[in-house]
């Protein structure tokens, strides 16, 4: 027997174990997620120099208060002025948001019937179907985009198939178009749309639909008035889970899109890796974050509400 009291407290509310459980992930994320974002903000207010690291001012704490003063007076909003004055950047943001919005809409239209179908499948088949939707996501994303290059190129399988079916007479240009980018995005993000939708449809209470039917409501109308509103939270979660990362997407437009018009993720990549302009790249990141702040906050609210409901 130990010296523990016969009836231990139901939950130790202030034990070191509990503190560790909270502090370990919190400190990790603070150091490797929050602090880095603040550094991006700081560097977006710096200026490019040819040096290592390639920006100025540097915060020199060894000089005490004077170091901080020098640092603050050295900050500038040059990079943001550049973003605001050059239509290249503005167009790039605009394009990214348009493509993200259009892709998300298509994802909803394609994803809803699939999620609905899975939710109505026999109970035993559901885990298998969910896994089947999720499995492609687990196999090399880059390579799945590469697969579409094979399909969409001029002598590719899509043109071959369409010509064989008699839909078109001469091969069409698919690759390096916005259509190709949207196909690639829809293909890659489909699981992220289907799974939250399925989760909300699966929970749906049938008695509501039965009640609607008993009261003489036709099935299609019951679908619109009962099923759709009750799955709205799942649809919103899925849409945000797709829209936000798509807006900053780099790989898909880079491999499937044209070289003349870039999405903002590509612009950031180019500024950083090719032009080596760290302050402008940082300013692009911060401005994108500000644009996406509202959808990110809505997404966080949905997640938190989900957490509290359980």
Partner 1 sequence: MRKGLSLFNVTSIALGLAFLYLPIAILVIYSFNASRLVTVWGGWSTRWYIELLHDSAMLEAAWNSIRIAALSASAATVLGTLAAVALIRAGRFRGRTAFAGMIYAPLVMPEVITGLSLLLLFVAINADRGFWTVVIAHTTVTASFVTVVVQSRLVSFDRSLEEAAMDLGCPPLKTFMVVTLPLIFPAVAAGWMLAFTLSFDDLVIASFSTGPGATTLPMRIYSEVRLGVKPEINAICTVMITVVAIGVIGAALITRRAERRKAKEAVAAG
Q: Minimal distance in Å, beta carbon 73 to partner 1?
A: 20
Nearer to partner 1, 181 or 247 (CB): 247
Q: Minimal distance in Å, beta carbon 86 to partner 1?
A: 19
Rg of the Cα atoms in the chain: 26
d(CA 285, CA 265): 9
Q: Minimal distance in Å, beta carbon 163 to partner 1?
A: 13
Nearer to partner 1, 171 or 261 (CB): 171
Q: Minimal distance in Å, beta carbon 178 to partner 1?
A: 19
CA distances from 87 to 84, 93, 142, 172, 278 (A): 8, 10, 31, 31, 20
Q: Minimal distance in Å, beta carbon 36 to partner 1?
A: 3
Q: Minimal distance in Å, beta carbon 147 to partner 1?
A: 4
d(CA 250, CA 209): 43
Which tokens belong to 2? 């130990």
CA distances from 31 to 28, 38, 72 (A): 5, 10, 23
Contact call for residues 235 and 252 (beta carbons, < 8 A): no
Nearer to partner 1, 143 or 164 (CB): 143
**Residue 278 CB burial class (10 angstroms; 0-12, 13-18, ≥19):** buried
**Residue 259 CB burial class (10 angstroms; 0-12, 13-18, ≥19):** exposed
């Amino acid at each position: 027997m130990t010296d523990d009291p016969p009836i231990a407290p139901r939950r130790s509310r202030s034990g070191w174990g509990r503190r560790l459980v909270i502090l370990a992930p919190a400190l990790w994320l603070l150091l490797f997620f929050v602090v880095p974002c603040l550094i991006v903000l700081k560097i977006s207010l710096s200026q490019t120099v040819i040096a290592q690291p390639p920006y100025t001012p540097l915060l020199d704490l060894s000089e005490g208060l004077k170091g901080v003063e020098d640092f603050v007076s050295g900050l500038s909003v040059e990079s943001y002025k550049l973003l605001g004055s050059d239509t290249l950047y503005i167009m790039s943001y605009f394009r990214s948001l348009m493509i993200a919005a259009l892709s998300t809409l298509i994802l909803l239209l394609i994803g809803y019937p699939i999620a609905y179908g899975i939710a109505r499948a026999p109970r035993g088949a559901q885990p298998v179907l969910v896994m089947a939707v999720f499995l492609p996501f687990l196999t090399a994303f880059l390579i799945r985009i590469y697969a579409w290059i094979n399909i969409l190129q001029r002598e590719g399988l899509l043109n071959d198939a369409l010509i064989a079916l008699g839909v078109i007479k001469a091969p069409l240009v698919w690759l390096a178009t916005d259509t190709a980018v949207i196909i690639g995005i829809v293909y890659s993000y489909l699981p992220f749309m289907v799974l939250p939708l399925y989760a909300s449809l699966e929970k749906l209470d049938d008695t509501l639909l039965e009640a609607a039917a008993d009261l003489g409501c036709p099935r299609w109308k019951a679908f619109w008035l009962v099923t759709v509103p009750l799955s709205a939270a799942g649809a919103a979660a899925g849409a945000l889970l797709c829209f936000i990362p798509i807006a900053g997407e780099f790989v898909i437009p880079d491999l499937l899109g044209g070289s003349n018009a870039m999405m903002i993720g590509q612009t950031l990549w180019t500024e950083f890796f090719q032009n080596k302009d760290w302050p402008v790249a940082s300013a692009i990141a911060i401005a994108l974050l500000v644009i996406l702040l509202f959808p990110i906050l809505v997404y966080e609210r949905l997640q938190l509400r989900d957490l509290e409901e359980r």
